[in-house]
Structure 1
Amino acid sequence: MQPKPSIELLICDCDGVLIDSEIIAERHLHAALAEYYPAHELDVVLAGTFGLQSRDILARVEAHFGKPLPTGFLEENRNIIKARIRAEVQPIAGVRDALMKIDLPLAVVSNSLSDAVAFALQRCELVERVNRGVFSADQVERPKPAPDLYLLAAETAGVDPRNCLVVEDSVTGATAALTAGMQVIGFLGASHIPPEHGETLRQLGVEHLIGRMDELPGLVQRVQNGET
């Protein structure tokens, strides 16, 4: 067996990895959609959609029920969710301390829009730590689960995708990173993560899982040393 490539760049997702925002968005979106569709069916339709862009989630819901949402629903609720996140969101516990202990260049890759990611970095006090760029959904035609954003981050940093290590919470994001040829750490510590999610990520091909951010520096070091 050939040794795995050395790690030259750490890349973090934003929502669910840096900030605990997915639960806020999920709760609002469920309540808003329940005004138009049966609430008991929404749980099934929305399961596993975290990490997707809002437009893709709504397209899935409309297709399932065969009933379109009102014009302007996406934009109206995107603005409400944005306001609630800015008012309520907390950083993932320990994320800043963990990332400050890791001696690797850092980039952020997110399916959120650029202004939302900029807010998250300020909220977590990570603006200066992110020294290899911020890459958001409005920079590519195909956001996650396509690999384009991750490939753009690697290319911009001048690093081979095989030398990138990614921290992701969602199937959508992990799929994008794995398709790009990167190693992935699955983070299970955000409020929206269901109990079975770790096994879901493992079946996808994610080799490393953590439940707390204080586990991240040690795991990154072991991956760098080829010990995992």
Structure 2
Amino acid sequence: MTPVRSIDLLICDCDGVLIDSEIISGRVLRESLAEYVPLEELEVLLNGTFGLQSRDILARVEAHFGIRLPEDFHPQQRARSEAAIHREVNAIAGVRDALLSIDLPLAIASNSRYTAVEHALQRSELRERVDIGIFAAEQVERPKPAPDVYLLAAKAAGVAPQRCLVVEDSATGATAALTAGMQVIGFLGASHIPPEHGETLRQLGVEHLIGDMRELPALVRRLSYLPAADVLP
């Protein structure tokens, strides 16, 4: 029986999926905050916050330590982080070859700023592969974990959410995609991913996990088609 396509759009997160940037931005954030709060206690507080926007992380820090960071802390820290990423970041190993071998339109949905995602795509030599577009935090009212940026990408492609397949590394991003009604592949291969993170994603409802981008094309092909008998009339 001939399989029937069930997925029409692939959507990838950027940081931690296309580029190995989270470990850099996390280091810069810790260095910046350590000027105001005890580093050891800060490390404990920041566990599990990757994928959140930096403003949300800073709000947690202020509430926990009962402090008020300077007004210019966020823009200065963001500039330092973006500069460090520009200087140091590498593409996730194998991501370019993986995405070039997948026969689906591609969109990028990120909690980062549009210009940062654009740079990441250039850095990983993927800009021309992104045929649907870049969808970034400033384009929606609510960033991840709200589903808005994923729904925007699906709408731009003219694809129903249930026919979208998402590659995400963070619990925040996976929550956004699942809330949007999309199927999610959890990527565990970036430098910042802790050993227990796969179980965290599974508890959210992520059924498929990979640790290497070389695994992605075959998994996408398998998930993109259903046996004809499984397709609803």
TM-score bucket (shorter structure): over 0.9
Which residue matches 2:174? Answer: 174
**C-alpha distance in structure 1 between counterparts of 2:65 and 2:53, whole Å:** 19
Which residue matches 1:193? Answer: 193
1:188-217 Cα offsets, whole Å, 9 max, x none, are: 000000000000000000010000000000
**Is the 1:5–1:163 contact (alpha carbons within 8 Å) kept by the matching residues of 2?**
no
Q: Which runs of 5+ in 2 are unaligned?
A: 228-233
Which residue matches 1:219? Answer: 219
Matches within 5 A, 1:73-222: 73-222=73-222
**Is the 1:5–1:162 contact (alpha carbons within 8 Å) kept by the matching residues of 2?**
no
Shift of residue 92 of structure 1?
0.2
Shift of residue 5 of structure 1?
7.9
**Is the 2:7–2:225 contact (alpha carbons within 8 Å) kept by the matching residues of 1?**
no
**C-alpha distance in structure 2 between counterparts of 1:174 and 1:155, whole Å:** 19
**C-alpha distance in structure 2 between counterparts of 1:18 and 1:78, whole Å:** 19
| TM-score between the two structures when normalised by the length of structure 1 | 0.96
**C-alpha distance in structure 1 between counterparts of 2:182 and 2:219, whole Å:** 16
Shift of residue 226 of structure 1?
3.8
Shift of residue 68 of structure 1?
1.1
Shift of residue 225 of structure 1?
2.8
4+ aligned runs moved over 4 Å, structure 1: none
Matches within 5 A, 1:13-52: 13-52=13-52
Q: Which runs of 5+ in 1 are unaligned?
A: none
Which residue matches 1:7? Answer: 7
Shift of residue 44 of structure 1?
1.6
**C-alpha distance in structure 1 between counterparts of 2:118 and 2:149, whole Å:** 16
Shift of residue 121 of structure 1?
0.5
**Is the 1:91–1:123 contact (alpha carbons within 8 Å) kept by the matching residues of 2?**
yes
| TM-score between the two structures when normalised by the length of structure 2 | 0.94
Identical aligned pairs, as a percentage?
71
**C-alpha distance in structure 2 between counterparts of 1:27 and 1:155, whole Å:** 35
